[in-house]
Amino acid sequence: MLSIPVGAEKVSFAQVLEKLRGNVLLAVFSELLDVDDSRDVGSLELDEPIFLVETMDLRIKDGIWSVVGSREVSKRIVAPEYKVWVDPPGEYRVQDIRGNVGASIPPERAGEMKLQKSFSPAVVEAALRGFHGLGPWRSAFDELVF
């Protein structure tokens, strides 16, 4: 579990679902606590993320997003499938978080799926501030919503 600063005196939490080359797939939760709150992260209700986002692991390596514990990932949180255009033969296919391309999918299903995209850690922090009313909500943040 990671602690992510949200404003001057608040933190939120995220869980690493997948470690990727230089990136991580995070489940980010809505729980907002004071920086000095000493509750054990295992006691918090963190089963329904607000964001599911791929981001660089730089803030983790730099210690800005600190590791505050470990817990099993909820079975309700699954890594997303994405769409990718394959040419030739000129069709959409399913792509997993690691970039593996699978079966072809009809355009209707592809229209409901996202392209794989990575967001900067600063965008994750800004989206958390926007979610909690501590900053503006930008339409680009909609892409992070789980």
Going by pLDDT thresholds of 50, 70 and 90, the confidence category of residue 34 is very high
Q: Where are the domains of the chain?
A: 2-78+117-144
pLDDT at 7: 86
What pLDDT shows up at residue 40? 82
- pTM attached to this predicted model: 0.91
pLDDT tops 90 at residue 42: no
Average pLDDT over the chain, rounded to whole?
Answer: 94
Contacts for 32 with CB less than 8 Å, ≥ 6 apart? 6, 10, 11, 12, 132
Query: In the prediction, which pLDDT does 103 show?
Result: 96
The share of the chain scoring above pLDDT 90, in percent, equals 82
**pLDDT, position 52:** 96
Q: Percent of the chain beyond pLDDT 70?
A: 100
User: In 3D, which of 117, 98, 113 has the Cα closest to residue 55?
Assistant: 117
Which H, E and C letters describe 16-65, residue by residue?
Answer: EEEECCCEEEEEECCCCEECCCCCCHHHCCCCCCCEEEEEECHHHHCCCC
